Structure 1
């Protein structure tokens, strides 16, 4: 069964940070530099987190993974990541329209 997860990390060492980012980019969609949207199975998530776990130093680094509700509210507030009128098709179809919030 496919599920949505938000994964974020705070890595203290620049070399480990780059390695974690590359692993995460192979498994999930970057939302911000250290925030990723993972869409997939529990097994795939476990594989992703296992790879990350092999890189981090648990005494100094922090990785967090939060399940997202399948029909929860999803919005973006603040500066647009893309110019007006441009929608990023890298997001799954159910999430895409929620990231295109018009200014009031």
Structure 2
């Protein structure tokens, strides 16, 4: 792994797993935006040297994105192979768990 290896640890810490999941999700969204912007820039670059620099950067961003995606799947933060209905059901369950935790914290 490269740029995110120092951010996300390999240790399984249940108290921070939601924070790690959210961070990974945000990083994946930012990565997708970067890839889209670089792909557009490559197609619009007229200078061959600039096009090559942008292409190299695009390939690097794609590789980082794949590594982060693989990590999110491995950690169970993203079930890439679930149907859309299953993903929605899982998201709804996680939201309900957060609501229940918040209610318990308010009662304490």
TM-score of the alignment, normalized to the shorter chain, above 0.5: no
Normalising by structure 2, report the TM-score: 0.27
More strand by share: 1
Normalising by structure 1, report the TM-score: 0.28
- Which of these two proteins has the greater Rg computed from alpha carbons? 2
Higher relative contact order (CA 8 A, sep 6+): 1
